[in-house]
Amino acid sequence: MATPVARSFLQVAATEEVASPLRVVQIEGLVILKIIKHCKEFSPALVTGQLLGLDVGSVLEVTNCFPFPIREEDEEIEADGANYQLEMMRCLREVNVDNNTVGWYQSTLLGSFQTVELIETFMNYQNVIELDNILVVNAIKSTFVCPSPEKLDSLKITTSAHESSLKFRKRAVQGIGNKGDGCVKEAISYSRENIRRCVCIIYDPLKSNQGVLALKALKLSDSFMELYRTNNFTGEKLREKNLSWVDIFEEIPIKVSNSALISAFMTELEADTPVVQCDYDRLQLSTSPFLERNMEFLIECMDDLSMEQQKFQYYYRNLSRQQSQQQAWLQKRRAENMARKATGEEPLPEEDPSNPVFKPLPEPSRLDSFLITNQISNYCNQINGVAGQSFSRLYLTKALHEN
Amino acid sequence: MAVIEHTVLQFSTSSSSSLSAKVHPLVIFNICDCYVRRPDQAERVIGTLLGSVLPDGTVDIRNSYAVPHNESADQVALDIDYHHNMLISQQKVNPKEVIVGWYSTGFGVTGGSALIHEFYSREAPNPVHLTVDTGFRNGEGTIKAYVSVNLSLGDRQLAAQFQEIPLDLRMVEAERVGYDILKTTMVDKLPTDLEGMEASMERLLALIDDVYKYVDNVVESRVEPDNNIGRFLLDAVASLPKLSPTAFDKLVNDSLQDNLLLLYLSSITRTQLTLAEKLNTAAQVL
């Protein structure tokens, strides 16, 4: 009797494999306010938090979020942080909040977020999420294909191995342990609800003081992720993949949605005012502190970049020296071989792997310079944007004065 | 002569006369979201308000979370464990936010409110009770704040009276985000720097037009002049600093040149980046 059901479940599990590309991140106004509150209260310290929501086709809905406490370098506290996360998600689930992790948010200082840490966090999130999926699907498959107790035990062991995201696995194991139809269904619905993608939302409190809503949704591009997994950032690989620094991050357009109730309340509470705070912020004439800091960061980045360039120069110098050494060695060997031929002896092989001259030099990773380049172009964009705005302000003041 | 103790029916007021509350928009958003997501059978949602009491006695309500509860005809059961767990979690993030009261959706105070209020009185001194009318019962979303005043006869407590206190909606954060985004149910795209600037300019222009119209109307005596408005206009005009044209020109031109220089610099940097990228890839073809 169970076979037809099992097949359909398997089919369901199989159809999950196909994913449509992520096009839009849809954020609730509530989430925006929560992020802003958290980031502003702790500014200038940089803070992070978790995003919760649903993955619907090509839209990733972010319907709630919660902040993380400021992290401290201590193992005990780190474990505490993981507990906090589970506890918070459990609590929020109880009041019917979507409790699927869809990514995280973080505050930034003038957009200086493109770091190796960010990429690592991304990979962690992505791995945890994918692992969840695979485990749940496998759990379901294995129970139906071969519901032996040993299998279940092995499953429990693999699941307990990864402590960081217990939730889904626990559910899967529970569902299988009970072998109740309802539980398996629940496990499947978990795997279906489960998100394969995650985004990072970046909020810049300083930039927001200029009267713009400085929110950005980012994800790593697929090709970059593939490359990062193999951890191979040599020039050859990059050329092969045709990946340049622009292709590391993908910015995803943000949509904002509000429930009808909230929209009604906002309309009710706040009649149309002709002037709002962000108008004042936008018309503020002094932008020099903002620009100055941008320039400072830009200069720092340029220094870093030139350091990276020096590394490359050093590498190329060494490479060419090695090549000339190789040539010299080869010529010597050929001359020797000619001599040996003349005397009727066997020629020596033209290659000698044991010779240190042939040891390949490790090519420095390009990841750092890529990130720095990204950073620089970000600062350039910001400077351009702010300078453009101050032009319009200056002309406005001029016009006002002339009148 | 023995001192006669007067037994008086009195309200024990604890300086509640000057009490007022400030609510941040996030709290309203959170309450609405919880209400939308409430369980099937529930009529209303109840939750804890977090914030701080400012030195002048104003209660600053900055955050909130819902607490699951069960309600029957004359009984309200609050999930106290949940409340404490959530409080501990919230305080890990921001220890400065303490319990300042509780909220409930619905219009005004109901019978069960006194019980819940008593519970919260044990958690915080003089808690604030916020009601949000999510049902729009009288055609508008009424948000009200109350404090409880005990009605006692001597030492015996008779009843609790809920006294409304003034409520101030702090919309500055919401303004920074922009009402355009928060008011509608769906916004397809966040405004960029320049679009925002454009919107601000348009609003400014509209305001200047309004002022023009008003002044023209007054001058042609179509409208009764209002001295207050006149003073505001005078202030606005006077706020422009009086500068000699040469000094002003210099000021504007200097700023313009600074900005142009920055633009130039950033463009050069970009060109440099593209160039470096090309060179790097070219260098690989050995």
pTM (predicted TM-score): 0.77
Does A380 sit within 8 Å of B189, measured CB to CB?
no
Question: What number of H helices and E strands is found in chain A?
Answer: 14, 8
Residue A311 in contact with partner chain B when CB distance is under 8 A: no
Q: Are B232 and B262 within one domain? A: no
CA gap A89, A96 in Å, rounded: 10
Does B187 sit within 8 Å of A255, measured CB to CB?
yes
Query: Could you say which residues from 202 to 231 on chain B have a Cβ atom under 8 Å away from some Cβ of chain A?
Result: 203-204, 206-207, 210
Q: How many domains does chain B have?
A: 3
Does B197 sit within 8 Å of A213, measured CB to CB?
no
- Count of beta carbons in the 10 Å neighbourhood of residue A303: 11
Instruction: Render each residue's pLDDT in chain A as its tens digit; 403 residues.
Output: 444 444 555 455 445 445 567 788 888 888 988 888 888 888 778 888 888 888 777 888 888 888 888 766 555 666 677 778 778 888 888 888 887 788 888 888 877 777 778 888 777 777 766 665 565 555 555 554 444 444 444 444 343 333 334 444 444 444 444 444 444 444 444 444 444 677 888 888 887 777 777 888 888 887 888 788 777 777 677 777 777 777 888 888 888 888 888 888 887 777 666 666 667 777 777 777 888 888 888 898 889 888 988 988 898 898 899 889 888 888 888 888 888 888 877 777 777 666 777 777 777 777 888 888 888 888 888 888 888 888 888 888 888 777 6
Residue B17 in contact with partner chain A when CB distance is under 8 A: no
- Count of beta carbons in the 10 Å neighbourhood of residue B6: 6
What does the block give as tokens for A248? Answer: 């590391």
- B260 CB neighbours in chain A (<8 A) are 387
Alpha-carbon dihedral B258, B262, B264, B270, rounded to 10 degrees? 180
Q: Are B19 and B58 within one domain? A: yes
Average model confidence (pLDDT) across chain B = 80
What does the block give as tokens for B29? Answer: 């958003």
Residue A88 in contact with partner chain B when CB distance is under 8 A: yes
CA gap B80, B271 in Å, rounded: 62
**pLDDT tens-digit series, residues B145-172:** 888 887 777 666 667 778 888 888 777 6
Q: Is residue B3 part of a domain?
A: no
Residue B174 in contact with partner chain A when CB distance is under 8 A: yes
Q: Is residue B70 part of a domain?
A: yes
Residue A386 in contact with partner chain B when CB distance is under 8 A: yes
- Asked if A100 and A53 touch (Cβ cutoff 8 Å), the reply is yes
Cis ω for the linkage preceding A364 (within 30 of 0): no
Give the domain-ending residue among B118, B149, B174: B174
Q: Are B84 and B166 within one domain? A: yes
Crossing angle between the packed helical segments A166-178 and A149-161, to the nearest 10 degrees: 170
Q: By C-alpha distance, which of A114, A104, A103, A107 is closest to A248?
A: A114
Q: Which residue has the higher pLDDT, B178 or B53?
A: B53
Q: Which of B32, B35, B89 has its CB closest to that of A87?
A: B89
- Asked if B138 and B107 touch (Cβ cutoff 8 Å), the reply is yes
* Residues A147-155: contacts with CB under 8 Å, at least 24 apart: A147/A179, A152/A176, A152/A177
φ, ψ at A43 (rounded to 5°): -60, 140
How many contacts does A have with B, using Cβ atoms within 8 A?
Answer: 233
Q: Which of A212, A278, A295 has its CB closest to that of B175?
A: A278
**pLDDT tens-digit series, residues B107-131:** 777 777 888 888 888 888 888 898 8
- Asked if B130 and B21 touch (Cβ cutoff 8 Å), the reply is yes
Question: Options 3.40.140.10, 3.40.50.10800, 3.40.50.720, 3.40.630.30; which CATH number does A2-220 get?
Answer: 3.40.140.10
pLDDT value of residue B49: 92
Does A384 sit within 8 Å of B263, measured CB to CB?
yes
Closest residue in A to B250 (Cα–Cα)? A398
Chain-centre distance for alpha carbon A95: 29
Residue A84 in contact with partner chain B when CB distance is under 8 A: yes
- B86 CB neighbours in chain A (<8 A) are 91
A393, with CB counted inside 10 A (0-12, 13-18, 19+), is: buried
pLDDT value of residue B48: 92
Q: By C-alpha distance, which of B216, B240, B213, B215 is closest to B229?
A: B215
Q: Which of B197, B207, B276 has its CB closest to that of A389?
A: B197
Domain ranges of chain A: 2-220, 288-402
Does B186 sit within 8 Å of A377, measured CB to CB?
no
Q: Which residue has the higher pLDDT, B94 or A148?
A: B94
pLDDT value of residue B204: 83
Q: Is residue B25 part of a domain?
A: yes
- Helix (H) or strand (E) run with residue A234 in it: none
- Count of beta carbons in the 10 Å neighbourhood of residue B238: 9
Crossing angle between the packed helical segments A166-178 and A181-193, to the nearest 10 degrees: 160
Q: Are B60 and B136 within one domain? A: yes
CA gap A306, A314 in Å, rounded: 12
- Count of beta carbons in the 10 Å neighbourhood of residue A46: 15
End-to-end CA distance of chain A: give it in Å, rounded: 87
- Asked if B85 and B68 touch (Cβ cutoff 8 Å), the reply is no
CA gap A238, A226 in Å, rounded: 11
Give the domain-ending residue among B223, B240, B257: B240
In DSSP notation, A152-213 reads HHHHHHHHHH--TTHHHHHHHHHHHHH--HHHHHHHHHHHHHS-S--EEEEE-HHHHTTTS-
Q: Are B19 and B146 within one domain? A: yes
> Nearest CA of chain A to the CA of B228: how many Å?
19
Residue carrying structure tokens 């900055």? B62
CA dist list (Å): A155 to A70, A317, B72, B210 = 35, 53, 44, 72
Q: Is residue B186 part of a domain?
A: no
CB neighbour burial string for A181-210, b if at least 16 within 10 angstroms, e if fewer? eebbebbbebbeebbebbbbbbbbbbbbbb
- A398 CB neighbours in chain B (<8 A) are 248, 252
Q: Are B149 and B223 within one domain? A: no
CA gap A298, A49 in Å, rounded: 28
Strands A215-220 and A199-203, sheet pairing: antiparallel
Strands A254-257 and A24-28, sheet pairing: parallel
Q: Is residue B150 part of a domain?
A: yes
Q: Are B63 and B80 within one domain? A: yes
Q: Are B169 and B265 within one domain? A: no
CA gap B97, B49 in Å, rounded: 9
Does B207 sit within 8 Å of A312, measured CB to CB?
no
Does A388 sit within 8 Å of B33, measured CB to CB?
no
Q: Are B79 and B160 within one domain? A: yes
What does the block give as tokens for A317? Answer: 């110098």
Q: Is residue B180 part of a domain?
A: no
CA dist list (Å): A320 to A38, A293, A323, B282 = 53, 41, 5, 15
**pLDDT tens-digit series, residues B43-65:** 888 899 999 888 888 888 888 99
Does B186 sit within 8 Å of A265, measured CB to CB?
no
> Cβ contacts of residue B24 below 8 Å, gap of 6+?
A37, B60, B61, B62, B63, B170, B173
- Asked if A13 and A137 touch (Cβ cutoff 8 Å), the reply is yes
**pLDDT tens-digit series, residues B183-240:** 777 777 777 777 777 878 888 888 888 888 998 998 888 888 888 888 988 888 888 7
CA dist list (Å): B129 to B26, B85, B144, B163 = 17, 21, 8, 10
Q: Is residue B181 part of a domain?
A: no
To probe the interface with A, which of B22, B32, B46 has the most A CB atoms within 10 Å? B32
Does A29 sit within 8 Å of B182, measured CB to CB?
yes
Which domain covers residue B223, as residue numbers?
A: 191-240
| ipTM for the whole complex | 0.81
Mean pLDDT of the B4-25 span: 61
φ, ψ at A148 (rounded to 5°): -95, 150
Q: By C-alpha distance, which of B82, B71, B124, B84 is closest to B102?
A: B124
The 3-state DSSP class for residue A149 equals helix
Strands A249-252 and B21-23, sheet pairing: unpaired
CA gap A183, A9 in Å, rounded: 13
Does A391 sit within 8 Å of B175, measured CB to CB?
no
- Asked if B31 and B23 touch (Cβ cutoff 8 Å), the reply is no
In DSSP notation, B86-129 reads HHHHHHHH-TT-EEEEEEEESSS--TTHHHHHHHHHHHSSS-EE
What does the block give as tokens for A236? Answer: 């050859």
To probe the interface with A, which of B63, B190, B240 has the most A CB atoms within 10 Å? B190
Q: Is residue B185 part of a domain?
A: no
CA gap A80, A3 in Å, rounded: 44
- Asked if A214 and A208 touch (Cβ cutoff 8 Å), the reply is yes
